[in-house]
Amino acid sequence: MAGASGEAEASQGPLSPVLRISQLDAFELDAALEQLVWAQFSRCFQHLRPGLLTPGEPELRALLQLLIWSFTVYSNSATVGQTLLHIRYRSTLVPGPHPGPMSRQQKLWYALLTVGGRWVRERLPTLLLGHAPDLGMQRARGALAIVGGMTKASGLLNFLLFLRSGTFPTLTERLLGVEPVHSQPQGPRHLNFSYMNRELLWHGFAEFLIFLLPLVSASRLRAAAATLFAIPAAAGRGRDVGGATECAVCREWPTMPHSIGCGHVFCYYCVKSHTIRDVFFTCPKCGAEVATLEPVKLQIELTEMHPNYE
């Protein structure tokens, strides 16, 4: 079967290299699948004692990852994300224009370096914290920190090489000599550039709005619009706020009514919270800035509150 698959690959001709973005997308899909599996597994224990899985969480995660590895990399030489993107692992240790399939040893080492390495990173700090802080333990922690730093530096260097060459996105793949290739011949890609330009334009506009909106004061915009379209007759009330019957912010009956120096009244909590949030708070109705925060007494006419009053 292996010889037949090799002849089939040779008959197809050299496969086009896998795009960098496709390789990175495969990792994102794998991480999403692992998170989904762990969430479903944790939900099985949601009605039991809280924190039941916490002591053995690294071991349980490792077992689930080994289960996923056995059905993906070990059986098909491809992760779930790679399968969705029609990518498979091939060994580069076999000379020739057509890389050979992953060997059994490479698959086992892949599980050891990925699943085992992640378990060591999650469990080893807990094991070291459980011992007395003697000289030997301090040296072990220092050596662990050095090894971790060298591993991160090597991973960063490998990623920079990946951006340059487009092969071996992870240090594990480079050490094992495996790289992703297309599992089937790729046809030409027909790009609709007008669609791409429109998508890029909307994407840039959305990022601009996400950056700009937190800097815009909605209350100041409402106040400016109210001032622009205000009726001139309504502006003649001046500082007489005794007859006001609603808060300029919440539009309800003012609780502990206060004035900021204009002809409108505010609930104390409304105006206080807004001035704390925005030091340049202005009246939403007339746009007046906060001059003084003073309590006012509402002059309630009985004929307004009780129409049947005589």
User: Which one, of 303, 281, 309, lies nearest residue 293 by Cα?
Assistant: 281
Please give the pLDDT value at position 144: 81
Q: What pTM value is reported for the model?
A: 0.56
Number of domains in the chain: 2
Phi, psi of 87 (to 5 degrees): -125, 150
182 and 123, same domain (yes or no): yes
**Containing structural domain, residue 34:** 2-186
SS3 content of the chain, % helix, strand, coil (to 5): 55, 5, 35
**Distance set, CA 48 to CA 42, 51, 52, 292 (Å):** 10, 9, 7, 57
In this prediction, residue 6 has a pLDDT band, given cuts at 50, 70 and 90, of very low
Instruction: Determine the average pLDDT of the residues in 248-272.
Output: 85
131 and 233, same domain (yes or no): no
Please give the pLDDT value at position 226: 63
112 and 31, same domain (yes or no): yes
Choice between 195 and 42, residue whose per-residue pLDDT is larger: 42
Last residue of a domain, one of 186, 207, 236: 186
Written as six digits, the tokens of 293 are 């925060």
| 266 lies in some domain | yes
To the nearest whole number, what is the mean pLDDT of the chain? 78
8 and 52, same domain (yes or no): yes
Written as six digits, the tokens of 144 are 């662990």
| 274 lies in some domain | yes
Please give the pLDDT value at position 140: 75
- Most confident segment among 50-64, 238-252, 268-282: 50-64
Please give the pLDDT value at position 64: 92
Please give the pLDDT value at position 130: 58
| 132 lies in some domain | yes
Q: Is the pLDDT score of 109 beyond 90?
A: yes
Instruction: Determine the average pLDDT of the residues in 5-21.
Output: 58
Q: Report pLDDT digits (tens) over 51-75.
A: 888 888 889 999 999 999 999 999 9
State the DSSP code for 214. Answer: G
87 and 150, same domain (yes or no): yes
| 198 lies in some domain | no
Q: Report pLDDT digits (tens) over 162-184.
A: 988 888 999 999 999 998 988 87
Distance of CA 55 to the CA centre of its chain: 27
For 210: left if phi > 0, alpha if psi spans -120 to 50, otherwise beta; the answer is alpha
Q: Which amino acid is at 135?
A: L
Strand order in the sheet with 178-182: 100-101, 87-91, 178-182
| 238 lies in some domain | yes
Instruction: Determine the average pLDDT of the residues in 232-257.
Output: 66
d(CA 152, CA 155): 5
Q: Is the pLDDT score of 295 beyond 70?
A: yes
149 and 21, same domain (yes or no): yes
| 192 lies in some domain | no
Please give the pLDDT value at position 128: 67
Tokens 């794998």 correspond to 30
CB neighbour class for 153 (10 Å; exposed up to 12, middle 13-18, buried from 19): exposed
125 and 272, same domain (yes or no): no
Instruction: Determine the average pLDDT of the residues in 99-104.
Output: 81
Task: Please report the sign of the dihedral spanned by the C-alpha atoms of residue 94, residue 100, residue 103, residue 106.
Answer: positive
180 and 223, same domain (yes or no): no
Q: Report pLDDT digits (tens) over 203-237.
A: 788 888 888 777 776 666 766 666 666 544 344 34
| 207 lies in some domain | no
Strands (E), the chain: 87-91, 100-101, 178-182, 258-259, 294-295
163 and 287, same domain (yes or no): no
Q: How many other C-beta atoms are found inside a 10 Å radius of the C-beta of residue 191?
A: 8
Please give the pLDDT value at position 214: 74
Written as six digits, the tokens of 280 are 């340049």
Tokens 């070291």 correspond to 128
Tokens 């800097």 correspond to 215
> Of 5-9, 58-62, 125-129, which range is least confident?
5-9
Which residue stretches of 2-79 are H helix? Answer: 2-12, 20-43, 57-71, 73-76
User: Which one, of 150, 156, 183, 188, lies nearest residue 171 by Cα?
Assistant: 156
91 and 182, same domain (yes or no): yes
Please give the pLDDT value at position 189: 56
| 119 lies in some domain | yes
Q: Is the pLDDT score of 97 beyond 60?
A: no
